[in-house]
Every structure is written in structure tokens, then in C-alpha cells.
Structure 1
Amino acid sequence: MSEFARGQKNFIGFEYKEVTAKRQMESIYIDSYPSFGWEFESSAVPLKGTLFVSMKFKRNRKLRNKSELARLQRQFDAGVNEIASLEQSKVTKASGMAYGVGIIGTAFMAGSVFAVVAGNIPLCIILAIPAFIGWIVPYWIYRNIVRKKTMEVTPIIEAKYDEIYEVCANATKLLDLSED
């Protein structure tokens, strides 16, 4: 797993890393991993509708401060994972609430259908009203909860981005020291 640098007779051994991440986080990895000594090689083109992308990186095996760079890289990876979790948390509760209300509306519609089958038209109408409400309201419930959660987690996400940029800056300083 090593190659010769073109135009030089010195042997350079490389180590390789493949990173799988959500497609929306791809640019963060490509922009930030060079801070840890990694060079971006390629990105697997995901199928349409795929949420994840696979990226390949390589770096010189003989870096100085490699253990410290690895520690900072773990901090970076943890920060990116936290950002992804916070982004996901925006819609998790909202989806659950919207699905719950929709299921309750469906239960009322089932009751309405059974009332029609039994020949009880007034009960059918009474049960159909909350059924239709239960099918219409989830959209607004979802939007309202996502809006509130977004306002709540956006400052936390921004702070996490600042943290990972600081980690990258520290790694770049270490990398610059090792090249001297």
C-alpha cells in the first residue's frame, strides 16, 4: 500500500483511509481532513437518493506528531457526528408527533367506516370529523415543531462548528511544525 512519488527516487509510504459520511457533511470532511495530513483522493459517486457518500484519503506514514494528530482527528470526527445528530434531532420529535396524530386520525376513520357498515350514519359523521382533522393537522404540527427545534439547536450547531474549526487550526499548526 505504498507508491513512489513521481519525479523523485525517494520512497514515500502512504496510509489510506476511507470515510463514509452523510452526503451533506462531505464538504466538511474534504475541507478539514487536510488539516490532519490527509490528501483527498476520490469520492464514490452515490446512487440517486443515497444519503451517504464514501471518500478516500491518503497521507504520508512518516508524519511527526502523528499521535497528537490522531487525537485531534478523533475530536473532529466526534464533533462532526454531534453536528449530524443535532441536525437529525430537528425532525425526529416532529416526525413522531405528526405520525402519532395521523395514526389517531386513521383510527377515527376506521371507527367511522365501521359505523357506516353498521348503518349508524350520525356516528359515522361524528367520527369522520376528527379523522379528517387528524389527517390534515400533522403537516402544521411537523412544521411548527421543526421551526422551534431549529431555533433551539442552531446556536449549538454553530458552536460545534467553531469547535471543529479550532481543532483543525490546532492540527494545521502541528502539521506545519512537523514539516519544518
Structure 2
Amino acid sequence: MSTQVSCVINEQPVSLDCQPGQTLLSVLHNVLGMTGTKIGCESGSCGACTVLLEDNPVCACLVLAAEMQGKRLTTIEGLGADAGLHPLQYALAEHQALSCGACGPGMLMAAAALFKQDPQPDSSAVAEALSGNLCACSRYPQIVSALSRAVTTSAEPGDCSRAALARVKREAV
């Protein structure tokens, strides 16, 4: 017996027909075709499937789809959707911090949650926020450094907004 669930995903209202035991990760990939959220361990150990549920980082493999009723979800597809790259995505690309990209979406979502709570985190706070995300390429120092610079390269201290990114890009030209 399926359950009808209404929620908001990436600022869009969505109505889902969820099967018993079906995870949010399964719905994202198999029902909605949203494959930016990566499939990893499927036990909550690697962080590859990190998404923001009500602005809090969670592993989509551990959330039952039926629990989404009335909730707001942001996936990697929604992070920078309306203006191109999000400042955190831009920082990782600019500093070539990712090797293969398997861990990138989860790390970006964990970092986005941190930056929403603390617009001026230091590198130790960034490292702590990413502690639940595994990287097989062992690029943690580069990733933490790039994400920490997302704050320092913004026009205003702590301003990791799209407007700040546009100012930084204009100044770099």
C-alpha cells in the first residue's frame, strides 16, 4: 500500500506516491530522476547522499520517503539552480579541490548547512561540518581550504551570497 506525500523539493511543490520502506534517496533517483545526490554506502556512513532537510544535513539513504510529508528539501540540484553555480560550488571549482566528484555533492550540502548557520566559519568548523563525509581521493585539505576561502574571497566578510560571487567575479576580470 503506497502513501501519498506532499513536500517541497528545491523550492518546487511535489506530490509523491511512496512505497513502504522506500528511502528518500530511492525517490530522488528512481522516481524524480534527480541523480546529483550520490548513492554511496546506503547505511549513512559515507555522507555521499547528504541533502538539506529543513536546512539540516541528513543522509537521504536513512530518511524514509513517507517522512517527507510537509517538509522542505534542498538537493545539490537546487543549491545553485537559479543563478548558476552557488559560491561554494564556485570555490571548489576555482581551487580544483575535487578529483572525481563522488563525494562533492554531499560535501557541498554539508558545507551549505554550515554556512547557513555560521556565515563566517573558520577552517576547523568547515572540517567538522564535513566530518561525516568520506572522500576516497583523500582531498580533505584541498576541500576544506577551498570552502574556507569561499568566505574570505567574498566582497563582504561572511557574505557567501550569489551577489557577492558576482562582485568577486567582476573584480577578478
Structure having the higher helix fraction is 1
Q: Which has the higher contact order (CA 8 A, sep 6+)?
A: 1
TM-score bracket for this pair, using the shorter chain length:
under 0.3
Q: Looking at CA atoms only, which structure, 1 or 2, has the larger radius of gyration?
A: 1
TM-score normalized by the length of structure 1: 0.24
